[in-house]
């Protein structure tokens, strides 16, 4: 469907497992983050410069990352869309750095913006938006293919554009705004390829995460009309779009594979894909669980479908085919996942009065576990939240990204 926004609110589904009833919320069988509100305050408000479409659109403040040395330098990085879709069209993605206000680590200075990257968005959908520092200290940025449907500009396979990629930059350059890591796959090329590119052939990689113990980079790439996929990202990898959707040859509609697909080789298939046949239609990438409370999920990649609200865990040992398990079927859209400093995993309910939830495991009398969701920080109903991060500075705070352009800090 041309112009279909997959980042739209889906049909609410009925909870499959015992779901966050009041009793369940207050009598969690696991220790973990309290269901207390914490203190919530505005960390950064840049809504006046963010072009946003909360309530189903894909524009907005989409990503946040803390500099690995945030505790000493106070730097944060954000990814947002700006500009207008009118004539002339000025819609663009920005990746910017901000700094905290003086010594106040509970507030960023809106006047401290330094734009590192800005590039035009030919259509309003597919803006990627993930920012994350890797264990290598470099900043990874996911970008969408520019939008519409079927990648009409062929951006995914075009190494001369930043669209449809995973980028990697050095935010601590000797000179300039950012540097190109010398180990980037196209560093120093003489073909006109963008040296920021780390991997390509992506459609709309809505969330990417690192798993420390295995060193793997996990990305969830939203599909066109048929297949949602999970990729393990490697340097220089071509993940197929728009030659393939998932592990399948892409023929459209709309459009079809771009001309570059005729000579594209070594396409990397996802390690997992699922179809739209059962009501799912837009993958929300998560994290490999390494937290303290949901012990049965340790080492498994937890992710969801935005549209159906279903949450799964994928087990992958690097050799055998991945094994997938349904955990819960939430009665709301799930926009993103996040971690606190203890690596506890949260998921974000996407609506005007959203919630922050975590997974709870309950042992079954026979064997195994069943899973439910428990709402936490429950005095705060984040409007259209799309991200949750910790600062890694030992304070225990978490920061919630609201799509309209506000970041709030929760001090437990």
Binding site for Ca ion (CB under 5 A): 239-240
Nearer to Ca ion, 124 or 242 (CB): 242
Q: Which is nearer to Ca ion, 199 or 376 (CB)?
A: 199
Q: How far is the CB of 161 from Ca ion (least distance, A)?
A: 17
Q: Which residue lies nearer to Ca ion by CB, 271 or 388?
A: 271
Least separation in angstroms between CB 213 and Ca ion: 25
Of 390, 202, 177, 411, which Cα lies nearest the Cα of 287?
Answer: 390
CB of 273 to Ca ion, least distance (A): 9
The beta-strand segments (E) located in 143-211 are 165-169, 197-200, 205-211
Distance, C-alpha 125 to centroid of its chain: 15
Task: Kindly give, in sequence order, each residue whose CB lies less than 8 Å from that of residue 286, ignoring residues fewer than 6 positions away.
Answer: 207, 209, 220, 301, 302, 303, 304, 337, 345, 347
Of 185 and 240, the one with the shorter C-beta distance to Ca ion is 240
Q: In the complex with Ca ion, which residue's Cβ is closer, 83 or 240? A: 240
Q: How far is the CB of 229 from Ca ion (least distance, A)?
A: 5
Give the nearest residue (CB) to Ca ion.
240
| CA neighbours closer than 13 Å in the CB half-sphere of residue 252 | 13
Q: How far is the CB of 12 from Ca ion (least distance, A)?
A: 29
- Considering beta carbons, is residue 239 or 399 the nearer one to Ca ion? 239
Residue 151 CA to residue 317 CA, distance in Å, equals 33
Q: At its nearest, how many Å lie between Ca ion and the CB of residue 205?
A: 9
Which residues lie below 8 Å from residue 245, measured CB to CB, with a gap of 6+? 203, 223, 224, 225, 226, 227, 229
Least distance (Å) between residue 3 CB and Ca ion: 21
CA dihedral of 392, 398, 400, 401, whole degrees rounded to 10: -10
Q: Measured from the CB atom, is 228 or 351 closer to Ca ion?
A: 228
Task: Give the whole-angstrom CA distance, residue 386 versus residue 124.
Answer: 17
CA 262 to chain centre: 30
Nearest to 199 by CA among 224, 222, 174, 167: 167
CB of 267 to Ca ion, least distance (A): 7
Provide the sign of the torsion angle of the four alpha carbons 163, 165, 171, 176, taken in this order.
negative
Which one, 66 or 239, has the nearer CB to Ca ion? 239
Q: Three-state DSSP class for 21? A: coil
Residue 145 burial (CB count, 10 A)? 34
């Amino acid at each position: 469907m041309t112009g279909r926004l997959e980042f739209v609110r889906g049909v609410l589904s009925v909870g499959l497992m015992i779901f966050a009833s009041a009793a369940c919320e207050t009598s969690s069988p696991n220790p973990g983050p309290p269901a207390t509100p914490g203190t919530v305050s505005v960390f950064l408000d840049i809504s006046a410069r963010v072009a946003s479409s909360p309530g189903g659109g894909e524009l907005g403040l989409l990503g946040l990352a803390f500099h690995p040395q945030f505790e000493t330098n106070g730097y944060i990085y954000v990814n947002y869309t700006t500009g207008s879709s009118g004539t002339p069209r000025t819609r663009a993605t920005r990746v910017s750095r901000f700094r905290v206000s003086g010594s106040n680590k509970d507030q960023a200075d809106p006047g401290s913006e330094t734009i590192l990257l800005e590039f035009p968005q030919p259509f309003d959908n597919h803006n990627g938006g993930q920012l994350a520092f890797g264990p290598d200290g470099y900043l990874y940025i996911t970008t969408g293919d520019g939008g519409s449907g079927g990648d009409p500009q062929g951006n995914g396979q075009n190494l001369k554009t930043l669209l449809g990629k995973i980028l990697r930059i050095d935010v601590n350059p000797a000179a300039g705004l950012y540097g190109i890591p010398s180990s980037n796959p196209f560093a120093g090329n003489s073909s006109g390829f963008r040296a920021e590119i780390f991997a390509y052939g992506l459609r709309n990689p809505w969330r990417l995460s690192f798993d420390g113990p295995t060193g793997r980079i996990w990305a969830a790439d939203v599909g066109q009309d048929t297949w949602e996929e999970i990729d393990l990202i490697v340097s220089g990898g071509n993940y197929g779009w728009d030659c393939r959707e998932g592990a399948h040859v892409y023929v459209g509609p709309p459009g079809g594979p771009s001309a570059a697909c005729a000579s594209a080789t070594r396409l990397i298939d996802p390690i997992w894909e699922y179809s739209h046949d059962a009501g799912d239609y837009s993958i929300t990438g998560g994290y490999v669980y390494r937290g303290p409370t949901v012990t049965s999920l340790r080492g498994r990649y937890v992710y969801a479908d935005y549209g159906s609200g279903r949450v799964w865990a994928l087990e992958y040992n690097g050799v055998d085919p991945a094994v997938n398990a349904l955990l819960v079927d939430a009665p709301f859209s799930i926009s993103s996942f996040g971690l606190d400093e203890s690596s506890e995993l949260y998921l974000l309910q996407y609506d005007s009065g959203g919630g922050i939830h975590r997974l709870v495991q309950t042992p079954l009398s026979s064997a195994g576990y069943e899973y439910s969701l428990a709402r936490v920080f429950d005095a705060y109903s984040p409007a259209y939240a799309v991200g949750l991060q910790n600062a890694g500075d030992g304070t225990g705070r978490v920061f919630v990204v609201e799509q309209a352009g506000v970041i709030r800090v929760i001090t437990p």
